[in-house]
């Protein structure tokens, strides 16, 4: 895997309304830049990749939102301190403190068609002034592996008596991830839920019992049976249920539209509504649901985009 390059290298784009760019950021002695600075952080612009949009702006910007691939996300403070909120920057602070830092997560869904797309950041300023900053992005094709799997027939063609349950559970999963918490609940970068090696099989096309049936939208980790599965970042549990397909599953809301899912566990050790800390054990590895043996199915959604967990680990948080 290619790591995120350090700031300033080509993959971190800077768009600015003034000639002054990143040099002024974080410099406590220099005055704040007079225009907003937008930075995008990503591993690559390909299907299945997450993007973070960072904005540094002065007090004239009251709020900001980014639109990309049909989804609009409000930019929110990078820390929970109220002084970092765009609209609440305290008057009388030194110039450096007037620069608010906000961000938003976006995802390029694993099935996004490669091609040119426009990313727009909309700034709402004092006096009702609205300013749009456009950036052209090219989503490049990515080749995903394919494989053949054998399951018990009732998991590939579930009996009619189970169809209603599967449909209802899919709706509940969608519902659990439909509410966007407007603040970042995570603490620092995402971490692996267990140190065991993975199959690096995100995006894999699957022939289940010789029928091209599914796209693998998570990452499978070879965790031995009964070993702890840990929250990859802090957040709130929005689902802790035993599902027909996913088995014993935990979904964590990390805020700002980012959700992580842990499936096929043998035991659930958290409850819906509970706040969890990064690294906290949420369950034990198992092989419940549609599973061929003990492993962890780990996946991420950013709004409705399914993204690669290995890329989430590299986000500069």
Binding site for Zn ion (CB under 5 A): 218, 220, 297
CA 291 to CA 242: how far, in whole Å? 13
Give the nearer residue to Zn ion in terms of CB position, either 58 or 220.
220
Give the nearer residue to Zn ion in terms of CB position, either 107 or 309.
309
Give the nearer residue to Zn ion in terms of CB position, either 297 or 306.
297
Least separation in angstroms between CB 218 and Zn ion? 5
Structure-block tokens of residue 284: 């034990």
Give the nearer residue to Zn ion in terms of CB position, either 85 or 206.
206
Give the nearer residue to Zn ion in terms of CB position, either 218 or 286.
218
Least separation in angstroms between CB 299 and Zn ion? 7
Least separation in angstroms between CB 147 and Zn ion? 11
Cα distances (Å, whole numbers) of residue 204 to 218, 242, 258, 306, 316:
9, 24, 22, 13, 26
Least separation in angstroms between CB 77 and Zn ion? 34
Which residue has the closest beta carbon to Zn ion? 297
Give the nearer residue to Zn ion in terms of CB position, either 230 or 297.
297
Least separation in angstroms between CB 216 and Zn ion? 6
Least separation in angstroms between CB 198 and Zn ion? 10
């Amino acid at each position: 895997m290619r790591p995120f390059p350090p700031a300033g290298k080509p993959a971190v784009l800077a768009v600015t309304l003034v000639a002054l760019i990143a040099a002024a950021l974080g410099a406590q002695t220099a005055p704040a830049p007079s225009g907003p600075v937008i930075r995008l952080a990503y591993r690559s612009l390909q299907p299945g990749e997450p993007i973070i949009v960072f904005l540094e702006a002065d007090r004239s910007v009251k709020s900001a939102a980014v639109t990309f691939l049909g989804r609009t996300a409000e930019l929110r403070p990078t820390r929970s301190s109220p002084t970092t909120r765009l609209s609440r920057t305290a008057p009388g602070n030194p110039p450096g403190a007037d620069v608010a830092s906000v961000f938003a997560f976006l995802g390029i869904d694993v099935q996004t068609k490669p091609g040119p797309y426009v990313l727009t950041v909309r700034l709402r300023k004092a006096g009702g002034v609205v300013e749009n900053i456009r950036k052209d992005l090219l989503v490049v094709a990515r080749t995903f592996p394919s494989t053949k799997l054998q399951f018990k027939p009732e998991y590939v063609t579930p009996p009619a008596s189970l169809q209603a349950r599967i449909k209802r559970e899919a709706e509940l999963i969608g519902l659990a991830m439909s509410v966007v918490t407007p603040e970042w609940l995570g603490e620092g970068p995402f971490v692996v839920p267990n140190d065991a090696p993975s199959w690096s099989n995100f995006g894999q096309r699957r022939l289940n019992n010789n029928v091209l049936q599914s796209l693998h939208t998570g990452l499978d980790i070879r965790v031995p049976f009964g070993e702890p599965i840990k929250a990859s970042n802090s957040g709130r549990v929005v689902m802790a249920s035993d599902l027909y397909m996913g088995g014993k599953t935990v979904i964590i809301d990390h805020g700002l539209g980012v959700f992580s899912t842990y499936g096929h566990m043998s035991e659930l050790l958290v409850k819906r509504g509970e706040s969890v800390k990064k690294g906290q054990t949420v369950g034990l590895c198992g092989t419940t649901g549609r599973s061929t043996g003990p492993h962890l199915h780990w996946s991420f959604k950013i709004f409705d985009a399914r993204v690669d967990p290995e890329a989430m680990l590299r986000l500069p948080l």
